[in-house]
Amino acid sequence: MTLFDTHAHYTDEQFDEDRDAVLAALPAADVARVVVPGVNIASSRRGAALAEAYPYVWAAAGVHPHDAAEAPPDMEAALAELAGRRKVAAIGEIGLDYHYDFSPRDVQRAVFRRQMEVARALSLPVIIHDREAHADVLEIVRAFPDVRGVFHCYSGSLESAKVLTSLGWHLSFTGVVTYKNARRLLEVAAWLPGDRLLIETDAPYLTPEPHRGRRNDSRHIRLVAEALSRARGASPEEIAALTWENGHRLFSKIC
């Protein structure tokens, strides 16, 4: 089994003590591709450097909605420079977060739109963060019909999933699918067309059961694949192969 973790924050300070040890241990756990998303320009640069250092690590460059208020005026130029590098495969993570509201909502929307424009101009896929902001996220992604990507850590309804897949989007599932209250989410995962399915850890967050409460890393992606295999009536190996293929198709710079 060869696994593709499409979203893991190895630039997070929770990995400051042992980042290289964790990354070096991934191939032995059958994790052969990882995408490290950026949350601001500085972390995007650190993620790109990690991608340069590890052949199986790739980066995305972006400004998270939490950090939107600090987006620099020259954000577009900084993202374009990063996106020109061989190991930067996407724009992300970008979107809206109305749960924490760390940046004002109008600023979040403006920064999200500006980054969708960068993705369109550079023909790159995007990684979307949508928390309690679905109507506004949908309105913005609809305004960019030629931009494709993934709704990371999908947590929405089956109805929303049907709309998003009809618009060409992928949905990605985390360790949340292993939690007790995941029944509705597993219904979405069971319904989802096979070619739109992706998996991720969102490390260091959202640690799957039975490790919940501890720091997450990509070695736990197997538990996400196993939970989805039960929901979809497929083997874990089939889920791994499907999400491997889908990840490479969506993030087409990754080889």
Using alpha carbons only, give the angle 104, 106, 112 rounded to the nearest 5 degrees. 100
C-beta nearest to Zn ion: residue: 93
Shortest separation between residue 91's beta carbon and Zn ion, angstroms: 13
For Zn ion, the closer CB: 160 or 174: 174
**Are 134 and 160 contacting, i.e. CB atoms less than 8 angstroms apart?**
yes
Q: Cα separation of 185 and 212, whole Å?
A: 18
> Considering the complex, what minimum distance in angstroms separates the CB of residue 191 from Zn ion?
24
Binders in 62-121 for Zn ion, by CB under 5 A: 93
Q: Is the CB of 93 or the CB of 97 nearer to Zn ion?
A: 93
Number of residues that bind Zn ion (CB under 5 A): 1
Q: Taking the complex as a whole, how short is the minimal distance between the CB of residue 7 and Zn ion, in angstroms?
A: 6
In angstroms, what CA-CA distances link 145 with 118, 135, 149, 165, 252? 14, 16, 11, 13, 18
Q: Whole-number minimum distance, CB 31 to Zn ion, in Å? A: 17
- Residue 18 φ/ψ, nearest 5 degrees: -145, 25
> Site residues for Zn ion, window 32-61 (CB under 5 A)?
none
Which of residues 95 and 236 has its CB atom nearest to Zn ion in the complex?
Answer: 95
Give residue 61's region: left, alpha or beta (phi > 0; psi -120 to 50): beta
Q: Which is nearer to Zn ion, 67 or 93 (CB)?
A: 93
Q: How far apart are CA 131 and CA 228, in angstroms?
A: 22
Least Cβ distance, residue 174 to Zn ion (angstroms): 9
Residues that bind Zn ion (CB under 5 A): 93
